[in-house]
Amino acid sequence: MDVLRVAACQVNTVVGDLDGNVERILAMLDGAEQAGCDVAVFPELAVPGYPPEDLLLKPGFVADNQQALDAVAKATRSCAAVVGFVDVGHDLYNAAAVCVEGEVVGTYHKRHLPNYSVFDEARYFQPGSGDPFLFDVLGVRVGVSICEDAWNPSGPIAQAASGGAGVVVNLNASPYHAGRLAERERMLATRALDAGAALVYVNQVGGQDELVFDGASLVIDGEGEVVARAPQFVEHLLVADVEVPVPFRKRLLDPRGRPPVEQLPAVVLRGRDGAAPRPALAGDLVASVLAPLEEIYQALVVGTRDYVVKNGFSDVVVGVSGGVDSSLVATIAVDAFGPERVHAVAMPSRYSSDASLADALQLGRSLGIDVQTISIEPAHDALIEMLAPVLARREPNLTEENLQSRVRGVVLMALSNELGWLVLSTGNKSEAAVGFSTLYGDTAGAFAVIKDVPKGLVYELCRARNRRAGRELISEAVLAKAPSAELRPDQRDDQSLPPYEVLDPLITAYVDEDRTRSELEAAGFDAALVEVVVGMVDRAEFKRRQTPPGVRISTKAFGKDRRVPITNRYPG
């Protein structure tokens, strides 16, 4: 057995930022060169950023991406770089270029193009075809594959191994969802073992609109054992020595006098957009995997931070009600931006309880953020007066409940306009599903942090964050009280909705698992409950179409993952 030194370059690119992405790629490549690597692998479409969506329909953008790739290639020295970009032939291809000593020496085209869930690759690309793509590094034959290619048991990885590859690299932009990592590692281990070849799996990291990428790049040996794993949700240069079985070796590897990976110095990575630089651990360390709730929490933090920062903003504002949803969002925001850049506003009405306002102010103290209080009463009063000729019934009804929520939306947006703070909205997935929200009211905002988090999971995340903090960051009072929108006297969510323990599983079955009414009943859900909830979910589609993006953590988030018609008479 001989040894090939590989780098998995887990970068955080920005879609469309060709110059910035090249700069980031080259900084990481420089680190790989310094670590004495033979091959450095970058994520899928690292040059244009992933997913570039309809930017790909601009021929000018694709041409610029090719120029950017050339800039990367020109800077390569003895370490081969395998870099994702968009190639143009008779059509467009999702491609990987192998660059070494200043030149592109080969190009691979992705064979399996996902066109389901959040993926639209058939909209843009032609699949590659032909013999397996292989290149030689110091006599070791290396195969190339891109993302979805790896999921096909007889696909490009198996084919490359049959063609003599001792190592197969796999470039990825694999969006996070809870449970994804274990599923992915099982598949990759099987693939490596079947192929009898080592795999270098490189995933991008960071947020892009509703998607967040978890990194967790891997090096797996030909026995299916994890040799190295990069940490989740941070940029990382993962360096590992891969043992290459002798049969695949054509000539002796050049040892180059490299120190062992364990003794490599840390590479300092520039922080994204002015954030502090961060040391990327080199070495063959197998990073441990985050606990399930911690992983989801980090996904929310990183997805939110990148949305705000990549769009050129620094500060955020959250309307805090004293309830659990806004408490969690404010806490996530503080973890993403630090307390100085998070601003909270409490907006009590005539129906707000003193306890709620106290809880909101307590949250501010606990998180170390400023909480302004702006009563919505003056505008609420004025609107009731203005609408008196229209509002026939004088008792508060749904119209008036919505008025309050919309005044709050107007106040938050005014703060945003005046002070340049992005508004984070606070609705959870259970509410989004059944439309338990006011359009242009509590749905108003630039980013809906927990829109893919069901209410039950909101509580779990709060409790997990408190445990990690070792104190009541979010007070037990907030976690213990019955959820209420406080839009009328003594309102509680469970007057309009089933309890969340009942509602959440039904939403999962109907939305995430695409069951029909009759299938839900057959699965044991109460028929009357199914009738009510399915109707609410379907009727709320028009609202969901006008709400902001938020971090996807499930396999079916409201967004480009679920494309149902608004005009839809199927009873469900």
Taking CB under 8 A as the criterion, the residue among 374, 507, 534, 551 binding a second copy is 374
Contact region with a second copy (CB under 8 A), list: 187-195, 260-268, 292-300, 409-417: 409-417
Rounded distance between C-alpha atoms, residue 549 and residue 447, angstroms: 5
**Cβ closer to a second copy: 52 or 224?**
52
The size of the chain, in residues, is: 572
What are the distances in angstroms from CA 528 to CA 39, 313, 531, 532, 535?
Answer: 60, 46, 5, 6, 11
Q: Least distance (Å) from a second copy to the CB of residue 197?
A: 31
Residue 29 structure tokens: 């490549």
Q: Is 79 known to be catalytic?
A: no
182, exposed or middle or buried, with CB in 10 Å at 0-12, 13-18, 19+? Answer: exposed
Q: Least distance (Å) from a second copy to the CB of residue 93?
A: 16
Taking CB under 8 A as the criterion, the residue among 386, 469, 482, 527 binding a second copy is 386
Rounded distance between C-alpha atoms, residue 287 and residue 97, angstroms: 28
CA-based angle 292:222:127, to the nearest 5? Answer: 80
140 binds a second copy (CB under 8 A): no
Task: Count how many Cα atoms sit within 13 Å of the Cα of residue 567 in the half-sphere of its side chain.
Answer: 0
Query: Binding pattern to a second copy, positions 475-514, x when CB under 8 A?
Result: ---------------------------------------x
Site for a second copy in 72-131 (CB under 8 A): 115-116, 120, 122-123
Rounded distance between C-alpha atoms, residue 222 and residue 2, angstroms: 13
Single out the catalytic residue among 9, 37, 79, 110: 110
Q: Least distance (Å) from a second copy to the CB of residue 375?
A: 7
Single out the catalytic residue among 44, 235, 400, 486: 44
Rounded distance between C-alpha atoms, residue 57 and residue 97, angstroms: 21
**Cβ closer to a second copy: 240 or 347?**
347
Taking CB under 8 A as the criterion, the residue among 59, 271, 279, 368 binding a second copy is 59
Q: Least distance (Å) from a second copy to the CB of residue 60?
A: 3
**Cβ closer to a second copy: 35 or 511?**
511
Query: Using a CB cutoff of 8 Å and minimum separation of 24, what contacts does 30-34 make?
Result: 31/7, 31/237, 31/267, 31/280, 31/282, 32/7, 32/79, 32/81, 32/237, 32/239, 33/77, 33/78, 33/79, 34/267
Q: Percent helix, strand, coil in the chain (nearest 5)?
A: 40, 20, 40
Provide the H-helix boundaries in 291-441: 292-310, 324-337, 354-367, 377-386, 398-419, 429-434
**Cβ closer to a second copy: 447 or 500?**
447
Site for a second copy in 4-43 (CB under 8 A): 14-18, 20
Q: Order of strands, edge to edge, in the sheet holding 198-203?
A: 134-137, 140-146, 167-172, 198-203, 218-220, 226-229
Taking CB under 8 A as the criterion, the residue among 57, 469, 482, 527 binding a second copy is 57
Q: Least distance (Å) from a second copy to the CB of residue 440?
A: 4
Q: Least distance (Å) from a second copy to the CB of residue 28?
A: 19
Query: Binding pattern to a second copy, positions 512-551, x when CB under 8 A?
Result: --xxx-xx----------------------x--xxxxx--
Taking CB under 8 A as the criterion, the residue among 246, 390, 480, 528 binding a second copy is 390
Contact region with a second copy (CB under 8 A), list: 98-106, 233-241, 392-400, 525-533: 392-400
Read off the amino acid at residue 343.
H
**Cβ closer to a second copy: 382 or 482?**
382
Q: Least distance (Å) from a second copy to the CB of residue 191?
A: 24
End-to-end CA distance of the chain: 59
Counting residues that bind a second copy (by CB under 8 A) gives 86
Site for a second copy in 412-431 (CB under 8 A): 413-415, 417-419
274 binds a second copy (CB under 8 A): no
154 binds a second copy (CB under 8 A): no
DSSP secondary structure of 20-88: HHHHHHHHHHHHHHHTT-SEEE--TTTTT-S--GGGGG-HHHHHHHHHHHHHHHHH--SSEEEEEEEEE
Taking CB under 8 A as the criterion, the residue among 78, 126, 402, 491 binding a second copy is 402
Query: Binding pattern to a second copy, positions 299-318, x when CB under 8 A?
Result: -------xx--xx-------
Q: Least distance (Å) from a second copy to the CB of residue 438?
A: 9
CA 428 to chain centre: 16
Is the peptide bond between 51 and the residue preceding it cis, with omega within 30 degrees of 0?
A: yes
Residue 474 structure tokens: 């979010």
**Cβ closer to a second copy: 14 or 497?**
14
Taking CB under 8 A as the criterion, the residue among 446, 533, 537, 540 binding a second copy is 446
Rounded distance between C-alpha atoms, residue 564 and residue 561, angstroms: 10
Provide the H-helix boundaries in 250-349: 292-310, 324-337
SS3 state of residue 93: strand
**Cβ closer to a second copy: 206 or 483?**
206
CA nearest neighbour of 485 among 410, 427, 529: 427
**Cβ closer to a second copy: 187 or 410?**
410
Site for a second copy in 218-237 (CB under 8 A): none
Contact region with a second copy (CB under 8 A), list: 87-95, 144-152, 163-171, 376-384: 376-384
Q: Least distance (Å) from a second copy to the CB of residue 378?
A: 4
Q: Is 44 known to be catalytic?
A: yes
**Cβ closer to a second copy: 184 or 556?**
556
173 binds a second copy (CB under 8 A): no
Single out the catalytic residue among 37, 79, 99, 147: 147
DSSP state of 215: B
DSSP secondary structure of 143-177: EEEEGGGGGSTTSHHHHHHHTT-SEEEEEE--B--
Q: Least distance (Å) from a second copy to the CB of residue 458?
A: 23
244 binds a second copy (CB under 8 A): no
CA nearest neighbour of 65 among 92, 97, 87, 44: 87
Q: Is 110 known to be catalytic?
A: yes
SS3 state of residue 380: helix
Supply the residues annotated as catalytic. 44, 110, 147
